Amino acid sequence: MINSIITLVVTVLFTISAFAQNPGDNFIPKDPKFDNLLTSENTVLLVIDFQEEMLGVVKNMDRDILINNTQAIIKTAQIFDIPIIESTIGVGLGANKPTIPELKNLMKEVKNIDRITLNAWQNKEVISAVEKTGRKKLIITGLWTSGCPTYTALDAIKAGYEVYVLTDVMGDATTDAHNRAIDRMVQAGAIPFTWEGVGAEILRVYTNPNAMKSDKFEGGFVGIMKEHFYPFAGKY
């Protein structure tokens, strides 16, 4: 079953890549800034509190898989030139360590915003960074699901943002805590999604040149899928 799914995904991605070279008469272009779907021009990614103190408590998902998924969405955002906002909590106070190296090494050019509040939407610098992008579709990832990601999502929704919560790029101390937090965000209007779903949705802008190649990551989005999706399919 898993092999069949992987084969289907590969086929779809290669078909999209071929179509990008010759879209044909049936292609209907859409304005990427005002598209109702996620695009490289209307989306911003928020990466919250991927610090050792938080990561070490996560039990609803295997540590390596969670790190893998987070690396994947960061790379996906980068090949499509989606702004990334990184934030940590308590580093300046000496309470916590910075973002784990496995992720920070991918975001060397991203300025981290350290906070003292659990809710990132109570930090003026975070809000300002999001507002400066001019984008209204906000993808939220982070730890722990029932904490900062939830508070941030609820307030961002109230502020008028269309919030996407990546259920496979969040984690908590228990599966129940994770699931109840997702339920709460969805009930408030958040859209649950996954990292590969985000990439595929942005890629469906068929003239996008990043399907098979990118100056940031070899192989483009297909390369990211081969490295970060296929090996973990069906494992979480």
Q: At what angle do helices 195-203 and 220-228 cross, to 10 degrees?
A: 160
Q: What is the largest CA-CA distance in the chain?
A: 59
User: Do residues 78 and 84 lie in contact, with contact meaning Cβ atoms separated by under 8 Å?
Assistant: yes
**pTM for this entry:** 0.88
Partners of 113 in the beta sheet?
87
Domain membership of residue 97 as a residue range:
2-232
| Active-site choice (16, 148, 156, 222) | 148
Over range 197-203, report the average pLDDT. 96
Collapsing DSSP states into helix, strand and coil, what is residue 42?
Answer: coil
pLDDT at 14 exceeding the cut of 70: no
The CATH number linked to 65 is 3.40.50.850
How confident is the model at residue 23, as a pLDDT? 54
pLDDT at 115 exceeding the cut of 60: yes
Amino acid type, 79:
I
User: Active site includes 148?
Assistant: yes
What is the spatial distance between Cα 132 and Cα 141, in angstroms, rounded to a whole number? 19
How confident is the model at residue 206, as a pLDDT? 52
**Residue 236's pLDDT band (boundaries 50, 70, 90)?**
confident
User: Is the bond preceding residue 121 a cis peptide, omega within 30 degrees?
Assistant: no
Q: Please give the structure tokens belonging to residue 29.
A: 């272009």
Closest CA to 211 of 30, 32, 13, 22: 13
What is the spatial distance between Cα 84 and Cα 77, in angstroms, rounded to a whole number? 7
| Structural domains of the chain, count | 1
Closest CA to 141 of 173, 118, 114, 164: 164
